[in-house]
Chain A
Amino acid sequence: MKNILGALSLTTALALASTAATAEVKVGAIFDLTGGLNIYGIQQDNALDLAIESVNAAGGVNGEQVTAVGYDAQSELSKYTQFAQTSVLRDGISAMFAGLTSSSREAIRPILREANIPYFYSSLYEGGACDRQTFVTGSSASQQLNVLIKWAVENYGPKIYIMAPDYNFGTISGHWIHEYAAQNGAEVVGEDYLALSVTDYAPTIQKIQSAKPDVVVALPVGAAQTGFLEQFAAAGLKDSIGVVSTNYGSGNQQVVVSPQAGEGLVSAMGYFPSVESTANAAFKTAWEAKYGTETPIVAGAVDVWNAVHLWAAAVNKAGSTEPDAVIGALESGLTFDAPNGTVTLEPGSHHLRQDIYIARGNAANGFDIVETFADSAPTYENEQCDLIKNPGLAEHFTPES
């Protein structure tokens, strides 16, 4: 049965021979185009295509056209490993753009580290990733919570309740909420970490009422978040207790949630479609021309857009796609006029210094920007991770809790 493999290798060898010749720069892309995570994955992939088009329209990198070799990870982790290896072993890529969840990043990070290929991770996440080949263009939890908690305490009051999923994103966010609450003279009056399988929020809602907070930081993911918000609003609590989040609106939550539950919710992220700038207007025009207006653009898509442009700028600066040269250029304090304001790639931590927006859900399933915290630094990552001084680091820092 296994000798079929021989035949397979022959056909692929032939297929390879026909694709080798033309002068172009290849980049790899692995996103979840199917399965539960495709709300994000499809848009990330769309953003990648759009960004490459824009880079090529501006003359490519060092005069060569960029092409993407894309794979669908099907929301399965083992596919990330498989396709990352395929990209490295077969496709001969110069950079990799991939991943949504932290686990997907951790799955492929070592592979690209070993192959010495710059890897761009473009999603908001709990923070702390530190690796010479890895560049993070999403915002980290501390980056968002730093401004959000301050804003929430000022606007709602000093008693905070944490409601988060019971895994790294939730528990690490919980740590930062405690820390920033203390900094702002506020107090965490209760916390509940929910298992991923929970669909019943009644117990949480009672515990919230029992703790009597001024504001709830609600961080559950996907459908769990909308389920919680509906029940919270229907219980009539929305008027007396504020709800803030760092991931509400990162996917499609503001569309799924009914207007009566979604209106007035506050979210802090690195991008909202309603950001007003010429860069964003141009980006949105290009996006809508290609993909329509049906689904709102998620932050992860803009993070990918920024990643591609930062990489292209670095390759142009380095004058080659040679990995160490590109990484050197990326570590030179590149900035980019992004849809979400000017972003700067921190040389030491490989994270982005970027604007953090506080926005409030409106009745039309959209967001109104309330306040902009310009040029927010990834403080925690900058403290922990200095890859200029210590290029051998390969760690995932987590705050002591």
Chain B
Amino acid sequence: MELDFLATVLLSSLSSASILLIATLGLAVVYGLMGVINLAHGEFLMVGAYSALTATQIGLPFLLAIPVAVAMTMLIGAIVELLIIRRLYGRLFDTMLATWGLGMVFNQGAVLLFGTVSPGIGMPQWNFKIGDYSLAVYPIAMIFVAAVMLAFVYMLMTKTLYGMKARASIQEPEMAQAIGIDSSRVNTLTFAIGCGLAGFAGAILLPIVPATPSMGLFFAVKGFLTVVVAGPVALTGSAVTALGLGGGASLTASFMTSMVGDVFFFLVTALLLWLYPMGISSKWRRKL
């Protein structure tokens, strides 16, 4: 095996894992801090992508289109929380079914609004070489984006008043109420942030994954598996799981076939759940 091939494979597997993590973080935040699985997560990603796309079409540069996508998805997220999620607290599976219905509505809504033909925005045509192998810069840059995103969420949860309130509300709900934290308002914000992260993912991944109404599905499916395998310590757990599963699947695909990579992802998920019935982080002492 040539060294340059190996280096390329490792780098792009890391990039694959990072892309999975970017797409999953919003889900992990909502699950970790609210105990809610948002099955419409993939559709929020799609909404983010279309928002960014629309913004670029009316003339905004791509970098400015990303905040537009985040604002849009946060707003929709907050409304969804107020109208639906709030009424279903503590009913995990009902929330899943309701958000799944929401996902179908979003999906069909996107078909109606945007049709099925939307021009892509293309990837920056930068690339670099490792030995004989040429790599596109943009997907590799996602490693950096994922790291920044992770750090941002971590800071948000540990260093801000909101973050402390949010963690207090999930860890000691009664105590949080008693010291005057309005947990329902915190939850609205948490859900909006989760959706905003999905919107960010949709926007930043737009050059890699073209906007289509059903673009979120496979990201979301792998995202759910990642979060569930991660277990209670959602943030760190998801980062570790995304790295292992996403990177592992990409590595497998590089050396064998894409099909084997996919089967690897699903089988390792099943194996991990068999070994760690409550998620890999169920016995960790970390809280975030």
Indicate whether A and B interact.
Answer: yes
Q: Which A residues lie at the B interface, using CB under 8 A?
A: 34, 36, 38-39, 166, 192-195, 197-200, 202-207, 209-210, 222-223, 226-227, 230-231, 233-237, 252, 255-261, 294-295, 365
Residues of A within 8 A of B213 (CB): 36
Q: Which of A205, A227, A235 has the largest count of B CB atoms less than 10 A from its CB?
A: A235
Residues of A within 8 A of B257 (CB): 166, 192-193
Interface positions of B from 96 to 135, Cβ below 8 Å from A: 108, 111, 115-127, 132-135
Residues of B within 8 A of A206 (CB): 5, 8-9, 12, 133, 254
Residues of A within 8 A of B133 (CB): 206, 209-210
Contact residue among A166, A198, A222, A226 (Cβ-Cβ distance under 8 Å from B120): A226
A204 and B258 contacting across the interface, CB-CB below 8 Å = yes
B125 and A236 contacting across the interface, CB-CB below 8 Å = yes
Contact residue among B120, B134, B137, B208 (Cβ-Cβ distance under 8 Å from A209): B134
B136 and A197 contacting across the interface, CB-CB below 8 Å = no
Q: B210 on the interface (CB 8 Å rule)?
A: yes
B12 and A223 contacting across the interface, CB-CB below 8 Å = no
Residues of A within 8 A of B108 (CB): 34
Q: Which B residues lie at the A interface, using CB under 8 A?
A: 5, 8-9, 12-13, 15-16, 19, 108, 111, 115-127, 132-139, 207-210, 212-215, 218-219, 221, 250, 253-254, 257-259, 261-262
B123 and A231 contacting across the interface, CB-CB below 8 Å = yes
Complexed CA–CA distance, A325 and B254 (Å): 56
Closest to B218 in A: A197
**Least CB distance, B245 to chain A, in whole angstroms:** 12
Residues of B within 8 A of A234 (CB): 123-127, 136-139, 207
Residues of A within 8 A of B117 (CB): 39, 252, 255-256, 294-295
Contact residue among B115, B210, B250, B261 (Cβ-Cβ distance under 8 Å from A223): B210
Complexed CA–CA distance, A161 and B198 (Å): 36
B122 and A259 contacting across the interface, CB-CB below 8 Å = yes
Complexed CA–CA distance, A222 and B213 (Å): 12
A258 and B122 contacting across the interface, CB-CB below 8 Å = yes
The 3 closest A-B pairs by CB, nearest first: A258-B122, A234-B136, A202-B12
B111 and A260 contacting across the interface, CB-CB below 8 Å = no
Residues of A within 8 A of B116 (CB): 38-39, 252
**Least CB distance, B126 to chain A, in whole angstroms:** 7
Residues of A within 8 A of B16 (CB): 200, 202
A34 and B139 contacting across the interface, CB-CB below 8 Å = no
Residues of B within 8 A of A235 (CB): 127, 134-136
Residues of B within 8 A of A38 (CB): 111, 116
Residues of B within 8 A of A230 (CB): 120, 122-123, 207-208, 210
Residues of A within 8 A of B137 (CB): 234
**Least CB distance, B109 to chain A, in whole angstroms:** 12
With contacts A38-B111, A231-B139 known, what are 5 further pairs, Cβ within 8 A? A204-B258, A209-B134, A234-B137, A237-B134, A260-B122
A203 and B254 contacting across the interface, CB-CB below 8 Å = yes
B136 and A166 contacting across the interface, CB-CB below 8 Å = no
